[in-house]
């Protein structure tokens, strides 16, 4: 697996950060549901028409989806949907969980610095704020993804084991593996709320284990956390007909 080098995503004056996050989410869902087929070239004009948008936010969203591994470069300046299998995603999620679990165990047994624990608790507070209203709105999915990505990166990077960070990043380029990548729309609002709320309670338990210096529990909880992610995206049902390149 090789990493992808793509340019940063410009927000630009014509597209707010909130709108850009929403467009990324909607195109991601189109890929998950098979509305954009594996190997299909992504045409800005067609996507914009289907989403009833101008081409600008679509153009700005595509590099972000390439960074996630959902798209690959095609032609001089275009993108195509990456071809992959559900099994690849399952394996990458499991491998990432092993590395994150090892990082959490290292942190717990060594003793996490208070500054790192404070940053992790800030993530917990941000997640709690999302769930306080007891419902999930469209923009919450993007907010949760950003928080979730930071939570996982803090633990990986805080362990002080650069190889773990490097290997986890390689797993993250497999579609729907990155903590930033969420796709729950097919479950509806209540289903999405239940899954994300449960995942965030696992975040709380992981931080408690790290703070208590219980390395074995911190590592075990990350394995459980990976199972939650696999269940959240209905791999067997959604990707039954996808084939490797």
pLDDT tier for residue 225 given thresholds of 50, 70 and 90? very high
**pLDDT > 90? residue 109:** yes
Looking at the domain 17-81, which fold is it?
A: Arc Repressor Mutant, subunit A (1.10.10)
Q: What pLDDT score does 94 carry? A: 92
Phi, psi of 234 (to 5 degrees): 50, 55
**pLDDT > 50? residue 237:** no
Q: How far apart are CA 31 and CA 24, in angstroms?
A: 11
Query: Residue for token digits 């299998």?
Result: 85
Q: Among 98, 104, 224, 84, which Cα is nearest to 153's?
A: 104
Mean pLDDT of 158-178: 87
Q: What pLDDT score does 11 carry? A: 42
**pLDDT > 90? residue 19:** no
**What are the residue ranges spanned by the domains of the chain?**
17-81, 86-238
Least-confidence region, from 29-43, 95-109, 144-158, 202-216: 29-43
pLDDT tier for residue 116 given thresholds of 50, 70 and 90? very high
Query: Residue for token digits 């047994």?
Result: 109
Q: What pLDDT score does 188 carry? A: 59
Mean pLDDT of 76-87: 85
Q: What pLDDT score does 235 carry? A: 53
Highest CATH level, class, for 86-238: mainly alpha
Would you say 167 and 130 are in contact if contact means Cβ atoms under 8 Å apart?
Answer: no
Q: How far apart are CA 159 and CA 51, in angstroms?
A: 42
Would you say 31 and 175 are in contact if contact means Cβ atoms under 8 Å apart?
Answer: yes
Mean pLDDT of 38-42: 90
Q: What pLDDT score does 147 carry? A: 95
Q: What's the mean pLDDT when you consider all of the chain?
A: 83
pTM, entire model:
0.71
Which range of 37-51, 170-184, 230-244 scores highest in mean pLDDT? It is 37-51
Q: Among 16, 164, 166, 4, which Cα is nearest to 71's?
A: 4
Q: How far apart are CA 147 and CA 141, in angstroms?
A: 10
Q: How far apart are CA 72 and CA 83, in angstroms?
A: 9
Would you say 86 and 38 are in contact if contact means Cβ atoms under 8 Å apart?
Answer: no
Residues 6+ apart with CB under 8 A from 188: none
Q: Among 70, 107, 117, 93, which Cα is nearest to 179's?
A: 93
**pLDDT > 70? residue 8:** no
Alpha helix positions (H), the chain: 17-32, 44-51, 55-68, 86-110, 114-131, 138-158, 162-172, 188-211, 215-232, 235-238
Query: Residue for token digits 């959604």?
Result: 238
Least-confidence region, from 61-70, 163-172, 176-185, 210-219: 176-185
Q: Among 24, 23, 12, 29, which Cα is nearest to 185's?
A: 29
**pLDDT > 50? residue 214:** yes
């Amino acid at each position: 697996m090789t990493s992808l080098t793509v340019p940063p995503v410009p927000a630009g004056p014509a597209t707010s950060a909130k709108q850009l996050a929403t467009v990324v989410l909607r195109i991601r869902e189109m890929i998950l549901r098979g509305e954009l087929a594996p190997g299909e070239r992504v045409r800005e004009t067609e996507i914009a028409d289907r989403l009833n948008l101008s081409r600008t936010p679509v153009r700005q969203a595509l590099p972000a989806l390439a960074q996630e591994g959902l798209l690959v470069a095609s032609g001089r300046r275009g993108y195509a949907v990456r071809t992959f299998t559900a099994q690849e995603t399952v394996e990458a999620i499991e491998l990432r969980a092993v590395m994150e679990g090892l990082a959490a165990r290292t942190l717990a047994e060594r003793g996490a610095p208070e500054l790192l624990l404070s940053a992790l608790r800030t993530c917990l507070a941000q997640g709690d704020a999302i769930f306080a209203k007891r419902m999930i709105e469209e923009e919450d999915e993007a907010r949760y993804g950003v928080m979730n990505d930071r939570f996982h990166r803090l633990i990986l990077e805080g362990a002080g084991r650069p190889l773990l960070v490097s290997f986890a990043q390689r797993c993250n380029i497999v579609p729907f593996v990155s903590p930033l990548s969420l796709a729950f729309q097919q479950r509806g609002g209540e289903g999405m709320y239940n899954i994300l709320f449960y995942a965030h309670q696992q975040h709380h338990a992981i931080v408690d284990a790290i703070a208590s210096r219980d390395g074995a529990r911190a590592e075990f909880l990350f394995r459980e956390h990976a199972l939650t992610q696999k269940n959240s995206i209905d791999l067997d049902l959604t990707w039954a007909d996808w084939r490797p390149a």
